[in-house]
Structure 1
Amino acid sequence: METSSLRILLVEDDRNVAAALETCLREAGHEVLAVEARGDITLTATRLLQPDVVVLNVQLRGPLDGHAVVTALRQSVPTPVPVVFVATSAELPAARDLQQLAPLAILAGQGTGVNLQRALASALSFA
């Protein structure tokens, strides 16, 4: 699948970061299906919306963090959805540990433009 026009579920609990990522994704021609802030809601939204990619923050509010969301998605969705983890430099070790358990791409920081497109392409290559 190409990264030219993707249906994306954006999961970010920081409103400013979510707005910046959403703008970047839309400007790149992608459709942002929804913006969620909680991991538990993300699981339901993924099943209902069937996005091409989930762009997911490592740390989330609520009972499920990004690690738990990826684990649950890998176990409960028939066809694993590609994931791009958005991680701060402090969160990178945790994201890299999870990368060993499930194929996913990591985007360090908010990521914009070319870096975000590369991360999307990388995540799709695992699908």
Structure 2
Amino acid sequence: MDRDATRILLVEDDSVIAYDIKSLLTELGYEVLDVVATGAEAVDAAAALSPDLVIMDITLEGEMDGIQTAREMQKSGDMPIVYLTAHTDIHTFLAAKKTNPYGYCMKPAGAHEIYSVVE
């Protein structure tokens, strides 16, 4: 693995989508540290792994959605987050925007879109 590769935590509750995104990120040269499905797992993994970037779905299993999870992560410092979601409504976008994400990418996203938002 390239020592300079961006280290990514992937938060996605759909296992098929998670597998596809992880494979794509790896092909693009990124290091995927972990893939988790719930907000609680994401908060714990971010604290333990200190990723360079978190790619976060907004709809997650468990009690917290992706936006709530981002808020929780940011309580312990700046956590670069990119949302990758199928939600296109303005209310979700505005709620996500309040967490100061590094990017917002719509599903389905291809290699070009994911590369652009990560970089």
Whether these two folds match at TM > 0.5 is yes
How big is the alpha-carbon RMSD for the aligned residues of Structure 1 and Structure 2? 1.7
The amino acid of 1:100's aligned partner reads K
Is the partner of 1:111 in helix, strand or coil? coil
What displacement does 1:91 show?
Answer: 5.5
Give the match for residue 100 of structure 1: 98
Q: Distance in 1 between matches of 2:41 and 2:110?
A: 25
Unpaired runs of at least 5, structure 2? none
Is the partner of 2:104 in helix, strand or coil? strand
Paired positions, count: 116
Q: 1:112 aligns with which of 101, 110, 116?
A: 110
What displacement does 1:21 show?
Answer: 0.4
The amino acid of 2:104's aligned partner reads I
Deviates more, 1:107-116 or 1:27-36: 107-116
Is the partner of 2:13 in helix, strand or coil? coil
Q: Distance in 2 between matches of 1:10 and 1:92?
A: 24
1:50-61 to 2 correspondence within 5 Å? 50-61=50-61
TM-score (norm 2): 0.88
Q: Distance in 2 between matches of 1:92 and 1:6?
A: 30
Identify if the C-alpha distance between structure 1 residues 40 and 111 changes in structure 2 by more than 3 Å, giving closer, same or farther: same
